[in-house]
Amino acid sequence: MSGSLSRRKFLMKATALGCSAAASPLLTPMTFAQAPGENRLVVIILRGAMDGLDAIRPLGDPLIHRYRAGLGISRESAAMDLDGFFALHPAMADLLPLWRQGELAAVHAVSTPYRDKRSHFDGQDLLEAGTGIDVSGAQAREGWLNRLLQILPGAGSETAFAIGRSDMKLVAGRAPVSSWSPDGRLDMSPQARLLLEEIYHDDALFHDTSTDAIAIADSLGLASTDSFGMSSKDMRAAVKSARAAGDAGVLAGFAARRLNEESRIAAFSLGGWDTHRGQTRGISRALGGLQDAILTLKRDLGPKWQKTAVVAVTEFGRTARANGTNGTDHGTGGAMIMAGGAIRGGRVYGDWPGLDEASLYARRDLMPTRDVRSYIGWLMHGLYGIERSSLETLVFPGLQLGRDPGLLA
């Protein structure tokens, strides 16, 4: 290893890169599946652990103001009020008309069975596997969408790697899945460096780690002279154009095109949710992207929006209290966001546990009161007629669905 990076520093930087990669927008596989009927399901995985207490703010609980005084949580948020207790984050203000039309909803105090270790990779694996922590063998290696395809008549799937080459565990398993990805070199060309620098210039989470990636590539002699046939000017123009369109909007637009054809199920990821510091800016950007994705789906699906359910889920929530850098750390209970004409919106589902210390999980996190899988399961039951017994034993092994929350209009 050369001069500028010592072995110890390299290992530290590699660890930081590994943590950030779990939420990186460079890893954006998209999955599509055929299914009988006209109902459509869009699953958006929010990688990095969305802070549900910020996205769907429990302003009716007085402790939220004490815990998060430095995060812009204000009692004067009447303009974003949802139901007199919860309020929408201002970055999603353009979704308020959907709420009033009954096409936007949320669920609070939910989680997967994952507890305590708070690893992005493990949490996301469990979310996409759809299993409990005690499940082993083939079911633990498969994704819940693949298990759905195994029992859904006429189903088929393909995975489109929009950027990068990361697998999506959601669709891994015995049901055959076809895939494609753009050809590209894996070394770091000068233009790839420029792309990293441009995309992450204003991103508090990824700017430092992308800079570190460049330094690590230099130290290992991985730099390439291949320019992919693009000048610096062309690359900057491409990045500027992509920024203007919005990454989330581009992904949602591509998903809508497929859903307007033969696909009935789509899944993709949005990153940028790991808000350990400076959360106010970071989560506003991420929530703005989620808003763009939802509004793009509504616009591009047209009349098919009325038969569409969109569900946005994350691997775990974040701590009830802000940390010393005006961020929040990895937690447990969180929130999910739903949209679509098929959703019975205009309400926040779930049982609110309260934020007093005795009610918090481990005296630090929002206490989960229901399994996030049960809400996805009830959507599958209503949209595709999957029997309860199949959902509890085959699609989500070990799950207790509980009562039907009545998510569909």
Max avg pLDDT among 82-86, 201-205, 265-269:
82-86
Query: Does any domain span residue 227?
Result: no
Query: Does any domain span residue 15?
Result: no
Query: Does any domain span residue 264?
Result: yes
**Which whole number is the average pLDDT over 135-141?**
63
pLDDT in tens, 386-408: 999 999 999 999 999 999 999 99
**Which whole number is the average pLDDT over 27-33?**
73
Query: Does any domain span residue 409?
Result: no
- Residue ranges making up the domain that contains 101: 29-184+246-395
Query: Does any domain span residue 324?
Result: yes
SS3 46: strand
**Domain at 165, CATH number:** 3.40.720
CA distance 221 to 65: 50
What value does the mean pLDDT of the chain take? 80
In Å, how far are 50, 62, 104, 128, 222 from 45, measured between CA atoms? 10, 30, 17, 9, 32
Cβ(295)–Cβ(92) below 8 Å: no
Max avg pLDDT among 176-185, 252-261, 397-406:
397-406
Query: Does any domain span residue 206?
Result: no
**Which whole number is the average pLDDT over 65-70?**
92
Sort strands 156-163 and 28-34 into parallel, antiparallel or unpaired.
antiparallel
pLDDT in tens, 186-230: 344 555 555 545 444 444 444 444 454 444 444 444 444 333 344
When divided into structural domains, the chain yields a total of: 1
One DSSP character per residue, 67-95 reads HTGGGT--S--GGGBSSSS-EE-GGGGGG
Residue partners of 70: CB distance under 8 A and separation at least 6? 322, 326
Q: How far apart are the first and last CA of the chain?
A: 60
